[in-house]
């Protein structure tokens, strides 16, 4: 991987590919601009030096591949199966794999990492000062080489890769990972041809509904994962597909920081008055 790191994985963006495009493009709606663009998925929803602790020093690309190769590959295959097999039911392992992917989408954003950097920097310098090395026991995604170099107190390597390892740790220990894995869920499938979900720089939506908690994640334009602490909420939320689709898209728009990916005809998105940035019709 180069210096440009996607915080919304390309495999996820590609679920929303623009029909008929010569390149792998999505419609990218930029908040506060009033415009949307046909944008190459290789160049959007990412940032240069995303995992750098300081400046432009990127992590070991082999470690990054090892971490996010595991985080992304299996969930992508699960979503593909859901797309083409309506009878498929998620196994317990499927739910955990999807949960890891969705929680990773929270922590590997620029704003998610910003909250970690200060903590990571302080923890790294404190551990290096003791000359005791850093144990990575329990963090499954890291390579054996990485584990050994942390334990041997390789200062340059630790400083270079600490943010990525911190993301790994947060994915595995996050309360949200356990919740998404354990809560009752439904796979909401849209039937009406004029409906579609959107996605954004915030893939996973988390909110409260009375005393209940709800997690919502559109996985494709036609499929959405919904989990909740109260099974009754799943029925209430998804009983009307048009209303549910519009509500999800509205919340996705409101919770996104900068950009939303979707089709110009998507419910709620089609009410915002956006125009094509290059002057062409959608």
In the predicted model, what is the mean pLDDT of the chain?
88
Q: What is the pLDDT of residues 118-129, one digit of tens each?
A: 777 787 777 777
Over range 100-107, report the average pLDDT: 90
Over range 94-121, report the average pLDDT: 87
DSSP one-letter string for the chain: --SEEESS-HHHHGGGBPTT-SSSEEEEEETTTTEEEEEETTSSSEEETTT-SSTT-PPPHHHHHHHHHHHHHHHHHHHHHHHH-TT----HHHHHHHHHHHHHHHHTSHHHHHHHHHHHHHHHHHHHHHTS----TT-TTS-HHHHHHHHTT-HHHHHHHHHHHHHHHHHHH-HHHHHHHHS-EEEEE--STT----EES---EEEEETTEEEEEEEEETTEEEEEESSHHHHHHHHSSHHHHHHHHHHHHHHH-SSEEE--TTSTTGGGS--EETTS---
pLDDT band at 16 (very low <50, low <70, confident <90, very high): very high
Q: What is the pLDDT of residues 197-249, one digit of tens each?
A: 999 999 999 988 777 899 999 999 999 999 999 999 898 889 999 999 999 99
Over range 79-99, report the average pLDDT: 94
Q: What is the pLDDT of residue 64?
A: 82
Q: What is the pLDDT of residue 281?
A: 43
- With 0-12 / 13-18 / 19 or more C-beta atoms within 10 angstroms meaning exposed / middle / buried, residue 201 is buried
Q: What is the pLDDT of residues 65-79, one digit of tens each?
A: 888 887 888 899 999
How many C-beta atoms lie closer than 10 Å to residue 222's C-beta? 18
Closest CA to 268 of 173, 197, 192: 197
Over range 146-161, report the average pLDDT: 86
Name the percent of the chain lying above pLDDT 70.
Answer: 95
- pLDDT of 138 > 80? The answer is no
pLDDT band at 170 (very low <50, low <70, confident <90, very high): confident
Over range 170-183, report the average pLDDT: 87
Its pTM stands at 0.88
Q: What is the pLDDT of residue 28?
A: 95
Distance, C-alpha 85 to centroid of its chain? 23
Closest CA to 238 of 252, 221, 224, 217: 224
- pLDDT of 132 > 70? The answer is no
- pLDDT of 148 > 80? The answer is yes
**CA pair distance 43, 109, nearest whole angstrom:** 15
Q: What is the pLDDT of residues 249-280, one digit of tens each?
A: 999 999 999 999 999 999 999 999 888 886 45
pLDDT band at 154 (very low <50, low <70, confident <90, very high): confident
Q: In what order do the strands lie in the sheet with 275-276?
A: 199-200, 259-261, 25-30, 35-40, 275-276
Closest CA to 274 of 169, 23, 113, 261: 261
Give strand pairing partners of 270: none
């Amino acid at each position: 991987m180069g210096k440009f790191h996607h915080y919304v994985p390309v495999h996820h963006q590609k679920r929303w590919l623009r029909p008929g495009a010569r390149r792998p493009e999505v419609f990218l709606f930029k908040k506060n601009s009033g415009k949307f663009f046909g944008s190459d998925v290789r160049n959007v929803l990412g940032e240069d030096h995303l995992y750098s602790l300081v400046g432009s020093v990127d992590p070991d690309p082999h470690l990054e591949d090892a971490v996010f190769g595991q985080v992304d590959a299996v969930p992508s295959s699960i979503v593909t199966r859901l797309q083409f097999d309506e009878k498929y039911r998620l196994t317990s392992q499927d739910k955990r794999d999807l949960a890891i992917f969705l929680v990773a989408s929270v922590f590997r954003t620029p704003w998610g990492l910003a909250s970690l950097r200060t903590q990571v920097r302080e923890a790294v310098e404190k551990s290096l000062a003791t000359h005791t090395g850093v144990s990575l026991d329990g963090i499954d995604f890291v390579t054996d080489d990485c584990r050994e170099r942390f334990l041997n107190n390789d200062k340059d390597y630790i400083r270079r890769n600490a943010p990525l390892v911190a993301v790994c740790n947060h994915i595995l220990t996050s309360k949200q990972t356990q919740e998404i894995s354990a809560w009752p869920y439904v796979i909401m499938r849209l039937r009406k041809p004029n409906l579609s979900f959107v996605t954004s720089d915030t893939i996973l939506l988390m909110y409260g509904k009375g005393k209940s908690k709800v997690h919502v994640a559109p996985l494709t334009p036609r499929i959405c994962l919904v989990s909740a602490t109260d099974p009754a909420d799943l029925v209430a939320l998804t009983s009307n597909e048009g209303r549910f689709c519009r509500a999800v898209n509205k919340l996705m728009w409101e919770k996104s920081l900068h950009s939303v990916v979707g089709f110009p005809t998507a419910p709620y998105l089609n009410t915002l008055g956006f125009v094509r940035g290059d002057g062409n019709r959608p």
